[in-house]
Structure 1
Amino acid sequence: MIEVRFQRGLYVPEADLWLDPWDAQPWAFVSHAHADHFARHDKALCSTVTAALVRCRYGVAAEKLEPAAFHTVVERNGFRLRLLPAGHIAGSAMLHVTRKADGATMLYTGDFKVRKGRTSEPVVFQQADLLILETTFGLPQFNFPSQMEVESAVLRFVHDTLADGEVPVLLGYSLGKAQEALALLHANEIPAVLHPNVADMTRACLEAGVSCLPEPILLDGPVPPGHAVIAPPNAVRSKLLRAVGNRRVAMLSGWAMVPGATFRYRVDEAIPLSDHADYPGLMECIQRVRPKKILTVHGYTREFAAELRLRGQDAWSASGNDQLELALSPPSARGVMTGSGVQTTASARHVRPICALADFTSLCRLTGETSSRLEKIRHLAAYLKGLESEDDLVLAASWLTGRALPRAADRRAVYAGSATLRRALLKLPGAREERYREISLSQNDAARTTRLFLQELPLKPEPLTLEGLAAFFTELATAPGSLAKIELLSSRLRTLHPAEGETLVKLLTGDLRIGLKEGLVEDAVATAFSAEPAAVRNAHMLTGDLGETARLAKHKRLEQAALRPFVPVKVMLASPMPDAAALVDYVSQGAAATRGIWLEPKYDGIRAQLHKQGNRAALYSRDLRPLDAEFPELLHAALTLPGDFILDGEIIAYAEGKRLTFHDLQTRLGRITVAQSDLFAASSDAGDGHGSSLPPVSFIAFDLLWLNESDLLREPLLKRRTLLDDSGIGQVHPAIVPIQLLRSDADADAVQAAFKQARAEGHEGLIAKDPESTYSPGRRGKAWLKLKTSSTLDCVVVAAEQGHGKRAEVLSDYTFAVRDQVSGQLRVIGKAYSGLTDVEIEELTEYFKRHTLSTERRKHIVEPNLVLEIAFDSIQASKRHDSGLALRFPRIHAIRRDKTPDEIDTLQYARSLVDS
């Protein structure tokens, strides 16, 4: 075979020939004019069209280039070199090499595609002993639709957009896909205006002899009616494109085949128009070249090579790391040496250093590829049950929920900025910033970018245990500053297989993205250790740690789980009642009828738990998020109180002697979670202002859950309240006081009078409690009932739509829903666009774009995971929405970041408020 070495590019030492090297070399072959394949060599062999494009794009002097026509033979150092069309973009070439001494041959594809393009020369293959194959889309899932289907999708998008009176914007690389899109539109008599970068490359293509393109029309102002816009992807948020109002955007990329592409690219549609070979195209190339040996470069190099080895081919990644990994694999996975190389068994399909992290990564891949919930549970249970180390069980169970560090730890401390990740990757040997930028733009996903980037670098994979990774997370969290984080992250990534590097980044971002939720992992723990799912859920709720819960389940000790300080539990919820008569009627039918009704005012504040033990105190929201940074004064107050305790209560605010509302407290709740590309951020805005401008707050305690080593959840409310009063907690510091308690006979008039009095005092309404009720975390039973004014509903947003006028560039109109208690389905009840500040709307716009499921013209169908409190004048029966109801004059009262979609109001409750 002709010898080829991987040294920051490919080098053929006998011919002294470099193939698309990353750095400038004395003499090199340049396959095409994309930036990731070009460097300023002393002399570059390329096609005549590529030479013209390189001169135009990079200003390279003509004497630096050695252009050659396709199929023309160039002789050098005892080798015959022949350029063959690659079909990638205009002028792209493959290089066929023949050693004159013995006739040994090699074909270097560069980037190529098998399907015929409109602006590129059709690909030509030639038999070779050694095939160096580009594998950007080297997985079976990348099977692109036919050329006719893809072009039809582009034309349909453009026609539909123009018919709706909007401007179609097509995003594609300025050299390559942009010209393909332009040629397609021109052939169908659709005029287009071009971003300046696209226009420049189009002129260069025309000068180089690409005849199917029209003269470029520059985008430099309003888009003429009936015209499309073609621009590079990185210009989508440029000032020039932002000025194009009423636009609809489509991304042209082979990565459109990946689920959620429109969400990742933040576009209205993603169309799989690609200038690379898909998986069938790669297989066709191999069939036509008939090589004895294959080296893979770019993209899924290891995966595709491993697949070929399963088929009996002698195939390896050109970087050589998969051969190193094969040597580190156990004998059973190494396969046997055949005449054509190594043939692996099925167990070695993804060969890498055998280690616990590799197994965990393989589990994540397998689970992510499985759509069936039962199959996911089966895979997880088998893995968890098979872990011999108890410490590994604890870590793996916790990580499967996407949490790198235990909940008790400062989870934000482990994050490093997106810039930190980029700098860590670029510190690796062989890293090129332009290649990183290209991958990052195509993926818009930190973890995926990490994997693809690492696949192209000369790494030194080492086995890593789960305990070793946990130690790394702790070290990263305690690193003194960003430079130390960069160094730590870079050093660790170099020792990981690219797939494990992707897993590490996913854990750092807090989302494995394999379709897992805590409930599913709880079921897997129950299955693995033959436990009741309800018992696992209860233990997890009390421990706050799924890893610890798994440990208890393994040893059949789930009943030992108990409430303890600094492990928050979900709050007990009250069921809404439409009026005092309905509340009393319900109470009169139960055991509480003989005990009377226990009434408390319903505060309009932030539900929270206050924990104190020894010289430490902590505050948690209803969604179990730490609130220490937002309300430090309450922690100081708690430390002055006697004993150790866990209190359930409400944080309220005052200003100038007046009780404020939840809306006024929002300034302390922090901002909505940042985008996935920023999930490495070192800090949030929470608690960024505790100066005198913020109102003073108090904690109103209405329940005692734990006191001096005693768990009180199963004690009746009457006893819990007695212990709260006797503890002296409310007699030391004015910022922490027990709630005012009212008792009432089961009389509707008395309850209504108490309700009016509570409203007059500025409360939302009343809470009625059964004094014999135990505390049921996370449940909305009928032991607690709430009666509040019918002017607000807690709803979940299901759609967000672009506004108009000055709000045309943001998602400012929100469609919201309540939950049908019978079917569990969400039912739309209205739409609102007023009540928020411009800053809040911009923040929600970014949030909803990240959580978009699909788009319908200007509307984004979003994940139902953000709760809004909606104020209204009245509710009426209506056929406008599938709830059968409509709100009169709805407006957004507050963003309820402290509530989950499980806590929204029900359709049945909304119906009870309908005006008669």
Structure 2
Amino acid sequence: MPPLLTVTHPKGIYLPEADLWLDPHFGVERAFISHAHSDHVARHQLTFSSELTLELMRARYGVKESSSFQALPMRQVFEWEGWKLRLFPAGHIVGSAMLHLTRIADGATLLYTGDYKLRQGLSSERCELLHADTLIMETTFGLPQFRFPPTGEIVASMLKWVRETLDDGGIPVLLGYSLGKAQEILCALGDAGLPVMVHKSILEMTEVVAPLLGKLPAYRPFVAAEAKGHVLLFPPSGARSLAIRKLKTCRTAMLSGWAMQPGAKYRYQVDEVFPLSDHADYPELLETVETVSPRRVYLVHGYTQEFAADLRARGYEAWTLERADQLEIQLGQPKRKIMEAGAPAVLPESAEGKPESFAQWAYVCAQAAAESSRLKKVSLLADYLRALEQETDLELAVRYCSGLLFDPAGGEGPLNTGWAVIRRSLQELSGLSDAEYRTLSRSQADAGRTAYLVLSRCPLVVADMDLQETAHFFRELREARGPLPKTKLLRERLAHLSAHTGSWLVRLMTGELRMGSKEGLIEEAIATAFQQPADAVREAAMLSGDIGRAAVLARQARLHEAVPRPMVPIKIMLATPEETAADIWQRMLGAEPDGAGEVWLEDKYDGIRAQLHRSTGKVEIYTRDLKPIGVQFPEITQAAVGLHDEVIMDGEIIAYAEDKKLSFFDLQKRLGRRDQADLFLPSDISVRYVVFDLLWKNGSSLLSQPLAQRRLALESVTMPPGMTLIDVHHVRSEVEIEAAFMAARRRNNEGLIAKDPATAYTPGRRGKAWLKLKKAFATLDVVVVKAEQGHGKRSHVLSDYTFAVRDEHGALRVIGKAYSGLTDAEIETLTEHFTSTTLQQKGSVRTVIPDTVLEIAFDSIQASTRHDSGLSLRFPRIKAIRTDKTPEDIDTLAYARKLAGVTVS
């Protein structure tokens, strides 16, 4: 009997004797591609595939047929370098193939299934199995619980749901991958007589294979205005797309083998699930092994360890080549009812009628998050807050609804409980491996959903805690030193909460409540609950530094008592951007002719916006997001000690070296460092505080006074060395504004801030009282090389783009990353494109074919070791998708260096 072929799995499945990789995710010398799904496609020097797979890759990824591709007809023998290759239908999707390999020297054989199924598909050939000595098979559904119903039953259930949705006046949306599942669904709809609209990506793939599919329904491209009365067929990412959300009457259904798992609706966030799969179920996996009758079995994908043990118990030599790496993993049998997406949570009995319980807080938050109407969200939260009797409970509930764990004015530090502690706590409770947890987390892209699904498999002993016990737990967690004690505390707490309540504890700890605008929503809820003006609530929250305290004042009708006080940071007043001097003049003075009015101008520095508080015996500096940073700028805090008044000032921290202003890039190095010995040496770089406003002085608030009066009060304060009063320029025309802007640029500042001297200081708001003129430094045409999954409301799309310029040798060099500037529709379009042009995926980051050109605006450019270009952009944002340009038209690294003033020796 010939020796078995050697199989290894260093980074993928590799046959060293044949020097052949099987479905590698990265470019290699020689590879077999079993089908045209993006996770099985990469660029190789020589690629074997079926003829139809090559056709699909040409249509989907722009692959050109050349000598680097060897398309093989099904079932025919192809001899190559001492080997016989034969392809057989895999039944997975159209064109999918198994590879049967024979070593000519001794007749040793190997069968690689790739993704496959044995039952007859509606859109693919029936799978054909052949005997082999070695079998490499996928085991996506390798557990006994995965026994799919007959296809006919699944299709009948799907059609019943579709017709019921249409009868109710809704629009049914069926979700399936653009290649494979979408065509299977179309075939299932073939005899139903229902009009179908399909997503663009599905249309492109279907047109390639339509001649092979038999009878199809009448389908056409999706047009939102005409969608009523149609069945919509979208890829899974379309479930939360802007187009679907705008239709409002849509009901969504996911078609996947994972519909067999409890909580599938919650996971996919859809209205219905149907277990239509293009993978083999558990009985088919066993049948495969019996039919092929191999001497050795290697397992890849899915439940490899479990199925290998199963086969060994049946007398086969079976080994796993890897651990779980699918998008979903088994969650085990839940110990409680799974909460479906949008449905009310099931409260523990002990929490009923107890608004002060943390479970009740989580329940109300879940209800608010599930509501699309802001008015209903506010009403739910207001009813809940009104029911809280104790002031302490009201303070805590309001803070938690705002994502705050502690009194922000109380000086308490952060939890210092990062993702690693949360992950380890959940793993220790559930028994999930690192790979399993990582896979689940990536599939959800949401901390709360991940925690819920993990906790659903845990044998928890529920004993709810109230809000004050929750606060005590957070204090314990903050005071614990090191990850091990923190993990133990969190694990023990989660073990006594329901899966739903525990998931909201994780949401709160990570700041991912996702109920809507956190602060604005809860401020409106407080105002509604206690019949107070919303603006008064906002102002009291800002002045007291604690929205919880503002809620108590609102209940007592004492909002007017909130006043600024030192060491409680106030939200900064914001400036609205304008593009030209003419816009500034028009916004400030309207139709007034030149000379009839006056605008105050101040230079806009390239530094860090900072608020300085000085009281008797104490000085602190706060960032624009209200975080203390005084320890990182001791020169300024020491200088502020020399002030003779107690004050709250608004200003900018700027850096100098040899009496020359430095950029934000230089100053940024100070942020986050705590080792004073590692900060800039005073002899090399000095830091100054430029003051431009005075908000409070010696016990009196100046917020309501006009800027002109605040300026007089500021000029009465004696500035110590290290602190400077900003210069104000008075101009009377747009021409003078433009001249002042150019002068500010010559002084190496970013631009100008124009201010109306008659206006009060309005914390946290933008308006026409302050306007900024800060023209973009330049733009670069770049090409996208990586696309990354977003977060929050963008967790279902690829919204973060890494881009590159071209060096003198023609190589692409990364220069930055941007995620702002595009509309939701543009992001969805790019998501579809990058999904179909993915070359390699690692976690949530996809390396893509560099064919998409973006125009990037930025504020400045600097030498940096962060990227391989040696440059970095400050505040990059996407100005436009340049469909008129090709990758050959992008800017060069030499041009970017010129903009940065960087020379290369």
For residues 106-145 of structure 1, the aligned pairs below 5 Å read: none
Query: What letter is aligned with 1:858?
Result: F
Q: Which of 713, 721, 726 lines up with 2:703 in the alignment?
A: 713
Residues 1:858 and 2:834 are matched in the alignment = yes
For residue 510 of structure 1, report the CA deviation from its aligned partner.
1.0
Q: 1:396-422 CA distances to partner (integer Å, 9 max, x unpaired)?
A: 111112222333467873132333234
In 2, Cα distance between equivalents of 1:618 and 1:355? 35
Query: 1:496 Cα shift?
Result: 2.0
1:722 aligns with 2:712: yes
Cα distance in 2, alignment partners of residues 594 and 188 from structure 1: 74
In structure 2, the residue corresponding to 1:781 is in which secondary structure? coil
1:57-108, CA deviations, whole angstroms, 9 ceiling, x for partnerless residues? 9xxxxxxxxxxxxxxxxxxxxxxxxxxxxxxxxxxxxxxxxxxxxxxxxxxx
- State yes or no: 1:614 paired with 2:598: no
Deviation, 1:707, is: 1.2
* Matched residue, 2:431: 432
C-alpha distance in 1, partners of 2:542/2:656?
Answer: 33
Match of 2:522 in 1: 521
- C-alpha change, 1:643 and 1:513, in structure 2 (3 Å) is same
Q: How does 1:173-188 map to 2 (within 5 A)?
A: 185=91, 188=94
Q: 1:565 corresponds to which residue?
A: 566
Conserved in 1, the CA contact under 8 Å of 2:61 and 2:836? Answer: no
The 8 Å contact of residues 384 and 525 in structure 1, kept in 2 or not, is answered as yes
In the alignment, which residue of structure 2 is the partner of 1:739?
Answer: 726
Q: Name the structure 1 match of 2:256.
A: 272
Name the stretch that deviates more: 436-445 or 365-374. 436-445
Structure 2 SS opposite 1:503: helix
Aligned residue for 1:164?
60
Distance 1:424 1:601, change over 3 A: closer
- The alpha-carbon deviation at position 762 of structure 1 amounts to 2.4
In the alignment, the residues of structure 2 paired with residue 629 and residue 360 of structure 1 have an alpha-carbon distance, to the nearest angstrom, of 37
How far apart are residue 201 of structure 1 and its match? 8.9
The answer to whether the Cα contact below 8 Å between 1:439 and 1:452 also exists between their aligned partners in 2 is: no
3-state DSSP of counterpart to 1:453: helix
1:794-805 paired onto structure 2 within 5 Å: 803=784
Q: CA deviation at 1:632?
A: 4.2
Partner of 2:383: 382
Aligned to 1:479: 480
Q: What is the rounded CA distance, in whole Å, between the counterparts of 1:697 and 1:602 in structure 2?
A: 17
Post-superposition shift, 1:648? Answer: 1.0
- Map 1:741-890 → 2, pairs under 5 A: 741-744=728-731, 746=732, 753-787=739-773, 791=777, 803=784, 808-809=785-786, 841=816, 855-858=831-834, 869=858
Q: Any gaps of 5 or more consecutive residues in structure 2?
A: 1-7, 10-50, 65-87, 101-109, 119-125, 142-177, 183-234, 243-253, 266-271, 276-329, 790-798, 838-843, 845-855, 862-878, 898-905
1:338 alignment counterpart: none
* Maintained 8 Å contact 1:397/1:550: yes
1:911 alignment counterpart: none
Distance 2:520 2:435 in 1: 37
Work out the CA distance in 1 between the residues paired with 2:180 and 2:568: 46
- Provide the residue aligned with 1:702 in structure 2: 692
Please give the alpha-carbon distance, in whole angstroms, between the structure 2 residues aligned to 1:520 and 1:881: 39
Name the counterpart of 2:283.
none
C-alpha deviation, 1:801, in angstroms: 9.6
Q: Hey, what does 1:302 align to over in structure 2? A: 336
The equivalent position to 1:690 in structure 2, one of 664, 675, 679, is 679
CA contact (8 A) 2:647 2:697 kept: yes
Q: Render the CA deviation track for 1:456-490: whole Å, top value 9, x for unaligned.
A: 33333223110110111111112122222122212
Equivalent positions of 1:114-513 (< 5 A) are 162-165=58-61, 185=91, 188-191=94-97, 212=128, 272-274=256-258, 276-277=260-261, 298-303=332-337, 329=350, 356-408=357-409, 413-428=414-429, 431-434=430-433, 438=436, 440-444=438-442, 445-513=446-514
- Quick one: which amino acid aligns to residue 525 of structure 2? A
Deviation at 1:715, TM superposition (A): 1.4
Contact 2:461 2:497 in 1 (8 A): yes
Separation of aligned partners in 2, 1:249 and 1:643: 71
- Residues in 2 aligned to 1:700 and 1:546: alpha-carbon distance in whole angstroms: 30
Structure 1 residues 565 and 439 mapped into 2: Cα distance closer, same or farther (>3 Å)? Answer: same
TM-score by length of 2: 0.53
The TM-score, its normalising length taken from structure 1, stands at: 0.53
Q: Secondary structure at the match of 1:298?
A: coil
User: Match of 2:414, SS?
Assistant: helix
Code of the residue aligned with 2:336 in structure 1: it is R
Q: Secondary structure at the match of 2:515?
A: coil
SS in 2 for 1:782: coil
Q: Distance in 2 between matches of 1:215 and 1:843?
A: 52
Aligned residues of 1:183 and 1:212 also touching (Cα < 8 A) = yes
Structure 1 counterpart of 2:721, one-letter code:
H
CA contact (8 A) 2:783 2:804 kept: no
- Report matched runs for 1:594-633 at 5 Å: 596-628=598-630, 630-633=632-635
Change (3 A) 1:453 1:190: closer
**Root mean square deviation, CA, Å:** 6.0
Residues in 2 aligned to 1:187 and 1:575: alpha-carbon distance in whole angstroms:
53
Residue pair 1:577, 1:787 contacting (<8 A) in 2 also = yes
Contact 2:355–2:387 at 8 Å: present in 1 too?
no
What one-letter code is carried by the residue in structure 2 that aligns with 1:536?
Answer: V
Cα distance in 1, alignment partners of residues 241 and 402 from structure 2: 25
Residues 470 and 218 of structure 1: is their aligned pair in 2 closer, same or farther, counting only changes over 3 Å? farther
How far the C-alpha of 1:493 sits from its partner, in A, is: 1.9
Q: 1:305 to 1:549 in 2, by over 3 A?
A: closer
- Conservation of the 8 A alpha-carbon contact between 1:705 and 1:711: yes
Instruction: Rate the CA distance shift 1:598–1:433 in 2: closer, same or farther, 3 A.
Output: closer
Change (3 A) 1:878 1:576: closer
Aligned residues: 588
Report the equivalent of 1:555: 556
Q: Is the 8 A contact 1:462 1:496 kept in 2?
A: yes
TM-superposed deviation, 1:426: 4.8
Code of the aligned partner of 2:725: P
The 1:747–1:217 alpha-carbon spacing in structure 2 relative to 1, beyond 3 Å, is: farther
Q: How much has 1:706 moved relative to structure 2?
A: 1.0
1:870 CA displacement: 5.0
Q: How far apart are 1:523 and its partner, in Å? A: 1.6
What residue number does 2:793 align with?
A: none
Aligned-partner Cα distance in 1 for 2:639–2:697: 17
Structure-2 change in CA distance of 1:387 and 1:743 (3 Å): same
**Cα distance in structure 1, aligned partners of 2:52 and 2:95:** 14
Alpha-carbon offset, residue 626 of structure 1: 3.9
Please give the alpha-carbon distance, in whole angstroms, between the structure 2 residues aligned to 1:637 and 1:688.
19
1-structure distance, mates of 2:708, 2:594: 12
C-alpha distance in 2 between matches for 1:610 and 1:653: 17
Question: AA paired with 1:723?
Answer: A
Aligned residues: percent identity?
Answer: 33
Q: Deviations over 1:839-882 (max 9, x none)?
A: 8737979x999x987712128999xxxx963579xxxx999899
Q: Which amino acid aligns with 1:272?
A: S
Report if aligned partners of 2:622, 2:628 keep a CA contact under 8 Å in 1.
yes
